[in-house]
Copies of this chain bind each other. A is one copy, B any other.
Amino acid sequence: MKVVKFGGTSVSSAEQIKKVFQIVTADPERKIVVVSAPGKRKKDDIKVTDLLIKCGEEYCKTGNGKEAFRAVVDRYAEIAHELGLSEHIIDRIAADLQEILHGDRSNASRFMDAVKASGEDNSAKLIAAYFQSCGVEAHYVNPKEAGLFLTDEPGNAQVLPEAYEQLKKLRDRSGILIFPGFFGYSKTGEIVTFSRGGSDITGSILASAVGATVYENFTDVDAVYTVNPNFVYNPKEIHEITYKEMRELSYGGFGVFHDEALIPVFRAGVSVNIKNTNNPNHPGTKIVHHRNNQNGPVVGIASDTGFSNIYVNKYLMNREIGFGRRLLQILEDFHLSYEHTPSGIDDISVILRQSQLDLATERKVLERIKTELHADEVHIEHDLAMIMIVGEGMRQAIGTMSRAAAAFARSGVNILMINQGSSEVSMMFGVKASDEKKAVQALYEEFFTKSLV
């Protein structure tokens, strides 16, 4: 049995959904199909999830939002129409969304979760109807009825261990099961979603629960690339990658696969195959336990911008037991999460995502650090990029840091920070955001094209 997941662009139009049907029915092992909400059809298109967020926010503010509601229903109607489905399915989708929008809005994050989840839920209903219209036995499966129970953290839920026992029973059902991604239910029966892009997580949980032979994750690229294609022309594809490598790259900025989706399949020993809906015969990228190390020590280079550095200096800081802990406590009081904390004798830096900080919060945080910790100096630096090089081969290869540092030097980029030492499969470099591209290109050249030069 295979679990197959289709991303937003794979279900964005009737044409795409027909490809989904071809792919699923081409292999009788493809029994469980997880679907996203319709994504972009072209570059400047708007994803249904974004339309829903706008719609939900308007209802929250004004109790109304006809235009956005109409835009959502129209997207589904257009698809249904082109797939030759009856009006009935659209009436059902419209009624369902209306009910949610006019439901309980007293808890905004709970309400927004329900609105967002309808994107995947209605996508699954529509695709099940299309499969049925083609004469195939297919069933929409509701996550509540199937037992996908999650922690009660709106917008950021995690699967509960007991869900696996329930979901395992999906094995015994007949026909093709169309399962909406992205959301599940709390133990009290409320809709809760995973973090954005969480349909990958749904697929991973189902693949793990039913003990799938493989979890096929269909997207719109032939494979995971070794580097961001916006930075390097025609970059090499990754044929095989380990779970751990993939998790680090996903966290480091690779958007192809959600970083939290890997652990369920990793624990269950289910391999993942990332494939292209538009080119299904391409072998894609396989995520496995062990791989042959053919490409040298590094498997991929990820990068991300939008980081800030809070720098704190205090004479004799290193003698003060509890200084670091109290600094982190202040950040915690503002619900700020941080990424790295490089330190010197009398100073410590905290690297965090700047999207968490508005100007007022920033001022308050710096003020508290200054006054409560009696710091000699506190300042914040914005617009940093974090670059991560990942590869299990780095454990053995002694010269990897040397090669990486040489690449930075050649590109003329100053390394502002290095975080290496806890993870054995990655190294993290902080640079100015304006240096990101140059540095990534130099690293790519060092680790992936050296032999060609």
Contact = CB atoms under 8 A, between A and B. Distances in A.
Q: How many copies does the complex hold?
A: 2
Measured as residues with beta carbon below 8 angstroms from the partner, the interface class of chain A is 35 or more
Contact of A345 (B158, B247, B406, B416): B247
B409 A417 contact: no
A71 interface: no
Interface stretch (A133-141, A168-176, A397-405): A397-405
Contact of A324 (B318, B341, B405): B341
Given A399-B409, A417-B421, A430-B421, A259 B325 contact: no
A251 B318 contact: yes
A423 interface: yes
A332 B322 contact: yes
A389 to B, nearest CB: 13
Nearest to A399: B409
A416 B421 contact: yes
Interface string A394-436: 0000110110111011001111111111110010001000000
Contacts of A404: 405
Contacts of A319: 156, 337
A343 B350 CA distance: 12
A337 B324 CA distance: 10
A51 to B, nearest CB: 27
A339 B420 CA distance: 15
Contacts of A331: 325
B417 A342 contact: no
> For chain A, what secondary structure do more than half of its interface residues adopt (helix, strand, loop), or is it mixed?
mixed
B315 A338 contact: no
B430 A415 contact: no
A342 B2 CA distance: 39
A325 B322 contact: no
A221 to B, nearest CB: 23
A360 interface: no
Contacts of A344: 248, 422-423, 426
A240 interface: no
25 contacts: A158-B316, A251-B345, A259-B345, A260-B316, A263-B316, A319-B337, A321-B336, A325-B328, A340-B421, A341-B343, A342-B420, A342-B422, A343-B422, A344-B422, A345-B423, A349-B421, A398-B413, A399-B405, A399-B406, A399-B409, A404-B405, A415-B420, A417-B420, A417-B421, A418-B419
